[in-house]
Structure 1
């Protein structure tokens, strides 16, 4: 969240007049486990309250798996509740979540079938797959990279992603979810994977950036950030 989304907004500044500032409040989590994710989600109200002090224009809840591990459709409940926290502080603010942004992005792309790459352990990845499918998109195949430590997720080599996708059967997929996680870096690999597969490629960070720009009523376009942010949508 703190790396790729600012990178995309900075890239957009090269082609559009709007300028952005970036503010963050952090929820604690070290090991990507269901228990730690639930505890982390419990801190989201505090974070929304803190950020509302800065009167930001839009908030993005970064952790996709924290939302998806809380049960089907939880992103709607989370977004509504966190917006209420900002309203209580006199600053009603649009809230998007990376989980909601990803499933909505697949609808925008018209993707009925996808393949998914995720850094999580297999049980958590299966929760993510189930969540996506319950939102109306079939997951044909997935890769769970099974990286338990949150910092190691951020250190994963982006350059490995094209080979990971190349080893999957994406022939019937409408789109590729290259990273179902805002923490795992993927942006640099998106153009290569789109060229490799001939399919639109989306990531949690790209989807979140798209939703933030839409919430700001700005044209959702970023150079080098895949089909969703190409200007076609």
Structure 2
């Protein structure tokens, strides 16, 4: 029997209010045009300020969260913090994914395990982006680490703007439509894509399609990339209305290829 109901698991910073809003919003929009249905489940890691010390402490809680989500027998499990992983050094998302996968399996759960950091890289690869511009809420030193992480994966960051907001709750309160004005300050000449929110906490979903239609190139966010890779791992058509190019159906994976590593 074909599976039509899926459990979505997220490992979420305790002060994050966005990933449990935007991921469900995208998948609920998909439910209006496709038959699959989703429920949403989270486990939380304590974090208040987006500074390296708190990010390192938060990362140590991830294994406990993976075990808790495994108990719910989720179908896909993802971290919901990008900078906590990217601040730890190039390629770190692969190590995290291996560790979380092992914990899930130890707890009798065969969920597909991913990270929002890995999903961002893979999403950009799927659309063939080699040069991007991005917006981020972080302090400049953390933004620079994100830029370095992305560039280590072979994607040039032509320009970046950061809003230097340390309080994670304040990031989550930002009006997503403000990004439609913020993006005007970016140098997007010759870029293949714009990363409208290089952060899982900075809301952006309502502005994605509007900005993409205006500038005429693919526009993504970390939440959009995470949703895309969740659908890929579940073997579902990566289509969400009004969520930009990556979720438009224009960029399918090759037949039988569930992960970008298999491309």
SS of equivalent to 2:241: coil
Per-residue deviation, 1:49: 0.2
1:20 equivalenced with 2:38 (yes/no):
yes
Structure 2 residue 116 is matched with structure 1 residue 91: no
Aligned length: 233
CA distance in 2 between counterparts of 1:191 and 1:216 reads 24
- Name the structure 1 match of 2:118: 100
SS at match of 2:20: coil
Aligned-residue CA RMSD in angstroms?
0.7
SS at match of 1:21: strand
Q: How far has the Cα of 1:172 moved from its partner?
A: 1.1
Answer yes or no: is the 8 Å Cα contact 2:119–2:225 preserved in 1.
yes
Q: TM-score, normalised by structure 2?
A: 0.88
TM-score normalised per structure 1: 0.99
Matched, 1:69 2:71: no
Counterpart Cα distance in 2 of 1:206 and 1:86: 24
Partner of 2:175 in structure 1?
Answer: 157
Q: Which residue of structure 2 aligns with residue 110 of structure 1?
A: 128
Q: CA deviation at 1:168?
A: 1.4
Instruction: Tell me if 1:198 matches 2:224.
Output: no
Question: For 2:43, what is the secondary structure of its paired residue?
Answer: coil
Q: Is the 8 A contact 1:182 1:204 kept in 2?
A: yes
Residues 84, 92 of structure 1: 8 Å contact kept = no
Question: Per residue, is there more strand in 1 or in 2?
Answer: 2
Query: Aligned pair 1:180/2:170, yes or no?
Result: no
Give the drift of 1:128: 0.2
How far does the alpha carbon of each residue in 1:87-129 deviate from its partner, in whole angstroms, 9 at most, with x for none? 1111122111110000111110111000010110000000000
List, as ranges, runs of 4+ consecutive aligned residues in structure 1 with deviation greater than 3 Å.
none
Please list every run of 5 or more consecutive structure 1 residues that lacks an aligned counterpart in the other structure: none
